[in-house]
Structure 1
Amino acid sequence: MEEAPHIKNFAVVIGGSQGLGLATVRKLLIENIPVIAVHRDMRKDMEQITVDFASFSGGSTPFFAIHKDAIQEKGRLEILQEIKKILGHDGKIGLLVHSIARGNLKPMAANSQFPALSEADFKITGEAMAYNVYNWVSLLFRESLFSSNPKVIAFTSEGSSRVIPGYGAVAAAKASMEAIIRQIAVEFAPHGIRANCLQAGVTPTDSMKRIPGSAEILERTAKRNPSGRLTRPEDIANVVYLLSRPEAAWINGTILKVDGGESLC
C-alpha cells in the first residue's frame, strides 16, 4: 500500500472484532498499518472485545474502532462520516477487508431441531455476506476515499461450492460474494482497485462452531488436512497482509485457497 509520502494509508476491516477479522486487525497493526475496525456485536461479547481493542490502542500504530451496523444504509452512512474524520486531510484507504459472518444456519427441510430456511433467511444472509461487499466498495469509491492502488479482500469458504448440512443460505451468499468480487476486480481495475477472495480452510471460529455438526467437521478436517491441523485465523491474516503489499498488485479477481492443502484431500 505505497502512496505519496504525505498520504497515510489506512486499512478498514468490516467485521474486525472476532475471528478472521480480529486476527487481521492484529496482524496489520503489527506491520505498522493503521486500522479502522468496524463491528457490531452483542452486549455479551463486548467485554472480551473491549479487552482485545484496549491492547491495540496502546500501540504506536493508530487504531480506531467503530461500533455501528455496517450492513444497513443508515449505519453505513454514519460509519462513513466517522471514517472521514479519522482520515482527515491526508488519509486514504489502502485496504478494505470484508469479514462479516452474519447469516442463518438452518436446513432446507425442517427437522426436530430446526425450522426450514425461509426466503427471508436467504435475503438476510446474502445482504450481510455478499451484497454488502459491493455496497462498501461503491460507497468508498464514490467518496474518493480509496488510495491510488487499493486492495479489497473478502473471505469465502469451501462451502461456496460443496454441500455442508445447514449451510445453504451461507453457501449461496458466499458464491454470490465470489461473483461480486470477480466483477469488482474487472470493472474497477481501470481505477487501480484489486479485489480478491481468500478461501479459508475450516477454522475453529465462533461462527464456524455455530454450524450444525461443527464438532464432527472440525475433527474430520484436522485429520483430512495434509498439514495435520486446522486452519488458524492467523494463517488467513498473514495472507491478507501479503496481498496488501505493492508486490501483489497483479493478483486480481482470484479465489486464493489458504488451507494448507486441505481442499486437495
Structure 2
Amino acid sequence: MSTSPILDLAGITLEVNHLPRGVRFYTQVLGLDLEALDEVRQTARFRVNLAQTLTLWKPVTRQASAPRLAPLHARGASHLHYAWQIEPDDLERCKSLLDEHGLEWTEIDLGTPERPDPTVYFFDPFGHGLELRGVNRADERQPALPPVPRPCPPHALPVMGLREAAIAFSDYPAMLARLPRAYGFALAKEQPDRDFAQFTLGPEPEHDGNGTPRRWLYAWDPQVGLADMFGGDHALLQFYADVPAVLARVRAEGLPHVETGEQLAVRDPEGHVFEFLPLPK
C-alpha cells in the first residue's frame, strides 16, 4: 500500500448571500476570530486555530474570490456539510448554547450501544450544514495537526477545529477511481447501502471510528443525507499535503491547475477546486 501525500484538512470556503450576516454568525455563534475582511472581493477569512481557516465569500459577477484561483473558476460551496471537533464533555453545553442563539438542532447517535457517539447537527443562516463531533484527544489516531482547545467567549460554541467536509459527485464510480489516482486521497471505506465514500486525510486509510481526532473527506452522490444535510457542490477545500507528490499526480492526470509559490490549486472534473498547501513550519 502506497502512502498518501494528503496530510490534513486546512480550510474550507462557504458561499453566502450576505457577508455581514455571515461575519456576525461565525464570530458570535462559533467564536471565530476574523482574520481578514475584503469588502471589494466580498470575502471574510476566520482563524479557526493555528492551522485551519474558514472563509466566507459572497459571489460577485465576473470577480474571483481570489486572483490566484481565477483561471480555475473556483467558487465556494453553496450548501456544504462540514463538521467541527469539540470535547465530548462540551456537547451538552453546546446544545444549551444553540438554544440560547435560537438555533434548531438535531442529535443523532453515530456510535453503538457499547460506545455511544452523540453528534449534533444544525444549520448556519445560509443553509450550510454544521455538525459538532466529540473527539478523544488521547486517541492514538492523531492528525498531522492535532486539535487543541482554544480560548472561547462564553456565548460561543467551544469548537477546536474542522473535522470533515462532505462534497457531492454526480459520477460516483469515476470519482472513486479518480480521487486516489489523481490526488492520492486514502480511501478508508464505502457504505454498503448508498454511494458514500470516506477518505482519511492522512498518510494511511483508517476507520472513521467514534472519538478519532483524524480529519476526513466524505464523497457521495447528490442526495439528502444524514439530518437532511446536502453534500456540497462546487466546493473549494484546502488540504495540507506533500505538494510536489500531488503535483506529479495532477500533471499525469492532465487536470487544470495553477501553482503559486509552494501552493497548488486543481480543478476537479466535477467542478470542485482543491488547494494543497505544505504543512506550516
Taking structure 1 as the reference length, the TM-score comes to 0.34
Higher helix share: 1
Hey, which of these two has a bigger chunk of strand by percent? 2
- TM-score when normalising by structure 2: 0.33
Flag the structure with more relative contact order, 1 or 2, with Cα contacts below 8 A and sequence separation at least 6.
2
